[in-house]
Amino acid sequence: MNAPSPAGIVLTALRLDRWGAGQVDRHIDEGISAGVGGFVVFGGSAEHVSRLTERIRADAGRDLWIAADLERGAGQQFRGLTELPPPAALARHPDTEAAVDRAARCMAREARGVGVNWAFAPVLDLDVEPDNPIVATRSFGADPELVSRLGAVWIAACQEEGVLACAKHFPGHGRTRGDSHIELPVVEATAADLDQDLRPFRSVARHVGSMMVAHVSVPSLGAPGAATVSRAVVTGLLRDRLDFGGLVATDAMIMAGAGSDDATAAVDALAAGCDVIVYPSDVSGTVEALRTGGRSDPGLAARL
């Protein structure tokens, strides 16, 4: 029996917001040929995305994940669909839970309507650092109880509508002053701070279908490098202590926080306990690195 292709754990990007039609078509064909597990879609009109996802599934002839960042509704990515207020605004609504439930259902129904079955949302980071360059209004707020409660409502509504939710960015990106797109930020926090950061993730661990691990360094958790490649964080904390049984996805591997060699980082992420490698810079190079790693490491081969 042949071993499954390592490409099955890779999600590659479709940048409809940047690429011309020819480049999009090439990436689709190359991804399907390589055997990727799916695509992360950025941009495009609702009509275009719907046609593309239908074509992708027909050409692949297999189940695929079609994912997108949809924190503010399907209109955040796809023209013609509904762009919703950010989570911070929903958290200030007079009927907060109803607002969050309605927003998540709207997002999920519209996403499913264009073929997207995995939403990279909600953000469960706490908005506790005024100088944080990337969290801010993407968070439901600074109170871990509020973030836990609204995150759970969002996740339940999304998944009841047939779209996989993804709690991010584990173990917490809210205390950083750096942007993991351009560097590896360090979370310098006390044990009490970290307990607060983890509370929203802990509260949804039995319910959410997937979690995304951040490219942040948390030395106090045994992660001097990126949490994405830390077995102490992914397996020891998320799997064992929080008892999470869903899919563990990396943040985008093209981000600088993943390191300069994201193909090697993908191998390390798999060894740490991640299940899905999201948006590598070089799909073929990443797949080959995973294949090579599996040949030399029986534990990695078993993970694959």
Q: Are strands 166-170 and 118-119 parallel, antiparallel or unpaired?
A: unpaired
The rounded distance, in Å, linking the Cα atoms of 7 and 277 is 9
| Mean pLDDT across 37-65 | 97
Q: How far apart are CA 147 and CA 153, in angstroms?
A: 10
Q: What is the pLDDT of residues 243-263, one digit of tens each?
A: 999 999 999 999 999 999 999
- So what's the pLDDT on residue 2? 52
The domain locations on the chain are 8-303
Please report the DSSP string for 252-300 in residue order.
Answer: PTTSGGG-S-HHHHHHHHHHHT--BEE--S-HHHHHHHHHHHHHH-HHH
174 vs 189: CA distance, rounded Å: 11
Q: Are 189 and 220 contacting, i.e. CB atoms less than 8 angstroms apart?
A: yes
Pairing between β-strand 223-226 and β-strand 217-218 as defined by DSSP bridges: antiparallel
pLDDT tens figures, 91-115: 999 999 999 999 999 999 999 999 9
- Give me the pLDDT at residue 1, please: 38
* Dihedral over Cα of 235, 117, 253, 281: its sign: positive
Distance CA 117, CA 123 (A): 18
pLDDT at 13 over 90: yes
Of the candidates 200, 255, 257, the one whose C-alpha atom is nearest the C-alpha of residue 230 is: 257
Determine the 3-state secondary structure of 118 from DSSP: strand
pTM, whole model, 2 decimals? 0.96
Give the number of C-alpha atoms closer than 13 A to the C-alpha of residue 57, restricted to the C-beta side.
13
pLDDT digits (tens, 9 = 90+) for 165-216: 999 999 999 999 989 999 999 998 888 899 999 999 999 999 999 999 999 9
- Taken in order 236, 238, 239, 243, the sign of the CA dihedral is positive
DSSP secondary structure letter of residue 208: -
Q: Give Cα 78 distance to the centre of its chain.
A: 18
Instruction: Report the pLDDT averaged over residues 66-90.
Output: 98
User: Residue 37 corresponds to which tokens in the numbers above?
Assistant: 């597990």
From the list 258, 209, 281, 286, the residue with the least C-alpha distance to 35 is 286
The set of catalytic residues is: 251
Q: How confident is the model at residue 5 (pLDDT cuts 50, 70, 90)?
A: confident
Q: How many beta carbons lie within 10 A of that of residue 68, not counting itself?
A: 26
- The answer, yes or no, to whether residue 286 has pLDDT greater than 50, is yes
4 pLDDT band, cuts 50/70/90, is low
Q: How far is CA 298 from CA 2, 236, 268, 285, in A?
A: 15, 20, 14, 20
Q: Do residues 213 and 227 touch, judged by C-beta distance below 8 A? A: yes
Q: What is the mean pLDDT of the chain?
A: 96
CATH 3.20.20.300 fits 8-303, yes or no: yes
The two beta strands, 38-42 and 210-213, are: unpaired
First to last CA, the chain: 14
Percent of the chain with pLDDT over 70: 99
Average pLDDT over residues 125-136: 94
